[in-house]
Amino acid sequence: MADTVHDDVNRRDFLMIATGAAAGVGAVLTAWPFVHQMNPDQAVLALATTQVDLAPIAEGQAVTIKWRGNPVLIRHRTKPEIDLAKGVAMADLKDPVSRNANAKDGSEATDENRVVGGKEQFLIMMGVCTHLGCVPDGANPLREFAVVEGSEKTGGWFCPCHGSQYDTAGRIRKGPAPENLAVPPYKYLSDTKIQIG
């Protein structure tokens, strides 16, 4: 009789473990479609990187492209705009950190740390104000940062929502925005072509 009791205990333990394992597998198989649907679809993955040809962007011209659903500002800066950005003292900056995904964390917000060396004429940055997420406007030059180039004034970006003002390197100079405009991760594929992301 002792053997029968022992056999019943082993059989009961086996049935409990097998039932628990089957329930666990069933739960995973049931949950998988719900978890999988949260993964980004192919259209989103295709937007993870984007390539831009900079050759058609004339000196002094700015274009806005979309990357990951956000605007990216690309400006072909003029020499006076570059000189103006390089001439800013670090003590005059509201945010001293470069906010550049391509630079070392915590690097200073010098103009050199906001662009790629040797290609400083192209400024590439996110077009999202760091205050409340509005899109700054660079079409109307700012008087505060303006320099005269011929008869045309050039300047930085202005966020019309709450008055944040960014200079010709995209650094916050006035207004409620707490940080410089972020520079996205990008690299040059050739002299005139970049890949963002």
Residue 45: phi and psi, rounded to 5, are -65, -35
Beta-carbon contacts of residue 97 (< 8 Å; ≥ 6 apart): 106, 107, 108, 109, 179, 180
What percentage of the chain carries pLDDT values higher than 70?
A: 81
Catalytic, 162? Answer yes
Reference 85, options 106, 104, 111, 120; nearest CA is 111
Query: Element (H or E) spanning 122, and its range?
Result: strand 122-126
Euclidean distance between CA atoms 2 and 128, whole angstroms: 77
- Please state, in angstroms and rounded to a whole number, the distance separating the CA atoms of residues 121 and 60: 9
Instruction: Say if residue 80's pLDDT is above 90.
Output: no
Per-residue pLDDT reduced to its tens digit, 133-172:
677 776 554 554 554 444 445 568 887 777 788 888 888 8
pLDDT tens readout for residues 37-59: 777 676 666 668 889 999 999 99
Judged by DSSP in three states, 193 sits in strand
| 91/3 Cα distance (integer angstroms) | 87
Q: Model-level pTM?
A: 0.69
Q: Quote the pLDDT of residue 156.
A: 81
Q: 144 or 177: which carries more pLDDT confidence?
A: 177
Say how far apart CA 166 and CA 170 lie, in whole Å: 5
How far is the CA of 74 from the CAs of 78, 125, 168, 187, in angstroms? 13, 7, 12, 14
Q: Considering 6, 76, 131, 162, which one is annotated as catalytic?
A: 162
Q: Where are the alpha helices (DSSP H) in the chain?
A: 2-36, 42-46, 79-86
pLDDT of residue 91 exceeding 60:
yes
Over residues 4-21, the mean pLDDT reads 76
Cα–Cα distances in angstroms (integers) from residue 182 to residues 37, 103, 169, in the given order: 30, 11, 11
* Lowest-confidence pick of 77-91, 106-120, 142-156: 142-156
Q: Is the pLDDT of residue 1 over 70?
A: no
